Amino acid sequence: MRILREGQRGRAICPSCDGIVGIRYEYRTVHLEESDLDVENVLVGVCEDCDEVVSIPAQSAPKLKQARATKDETLEARVPQHLDDIVYVIADRLDVSAKHLRSALLRYYFNEVRLNKATARRVFRLACSDLARGRQDARISLRIAPELYTATWRAATDAGFRTHADLVRGILLAAKEDVIEGRAKSRSKELERVAAAI
């Protein structure tokens, strides 16, 4: 496949201009009618006469396909502020931004809950602990791929979870034990690698 760059030119049929016209390639937002999504930064061929999008090169098809297929789930949870502080302590230890680490850390443990029943039970036990209690004044929002969300929530409900907030509280306490207290050296090392990639 030939990879095109912004600014390159070519020729295509323009329905508005009723014939073959010169086109230039540029990045634009493309609206997908069937899913009512706007996909940003898609390379398209634009008619040089009427400025309408007249072609989409092959290299843009995977981006549009992925946008059609996956609309991330948004998971919202309220937790006690002292649990959110755990993210800042871990971020400081790993020398990364807490803002960037939070979502990566939660996704990492979501996957662990999904893959390992023992981890799911441990996270549930921690969510029921005294340290998990308190005024829920910190809001955590996470965008997550639907497949990971569905599989993780199935495993979480099997372990006893009934709310997203309980799951997030248990995950934050598991991260505290694994990284801050050093109870799981291998998991701590994996999180270091995740943090290095942020």
Domain end point (choices 46, 69, 92) = 69
**How many residues would you count in the chain?**
198
On whether the CB atoms of residues 113 and 155 are closer than 8 A, the answer is yes
Q: How far is CA 197 from the centre of its chain?
A: 14
In terms of domains, do 116 and 89 share one? yes
The C-alpha atoms of residue 62 and residue 26 are separated, in whole angstroms, by 17
* DSSP letters for 147-160: HHHHHHHHHHHHHT
5, 94, 129 from 180: Cα distances, Å: 47, 10, 17
Per the structure, the count of domains in the chain is 2
Domain residue limits at 103: 73-196
3-state SS class at 158: helix
Q: In this predicted structure, what is the pLDDT of residue 191?
A: 86
* DSSP letters for 73-98: EEEEEEE-HHHHHHHHHHHHHHTS-H
Question: Does 26 fall in a domain?
Answer: yes
Query: Per the confidence metrics, is the pTM higher than 0.85?
Result: no
Q: In this predicted structure, what is the pLDDT of residue 198?
A: 80
Q: In this predicted structure, what is the pLDDT of residue 70?
A: 61
The token pair that represents 69 in the structure block: 């297929």
In terms of domains, do 84 and 107 share one? yes
Over the stretch 118-160, which tens digit does the pLDDT of each residue have? Answer: 999 999 999 999 999 999 999 999 888 888 888 999 999 999 9
Percentage of the chain exceeding pLDDT 70 = 98
In terms of domains, do 41 and 81 share one? no
Look at residue 13 and tell me whether its pLDDT is greater than 90: yes
Q: In this predicted model, which residue has the larger pLDDT, 53 or 72?
A: 53
Look at residue 92 and tell me whether its pLDDT is greater than 90: yes
pLDDT band at 18 (very low <50, low <70, confident <90, very high): confident
Domain end point (choices 69, 85, 100) = 69
Question: Does 4 fall in a domain?
Answer: no
On whether the CB atoms of residues 162 and 169 are closer than 8 A, the answer is no
* DSSP letters for 47-67: ETTT--EEE--GGGHHHHHHH
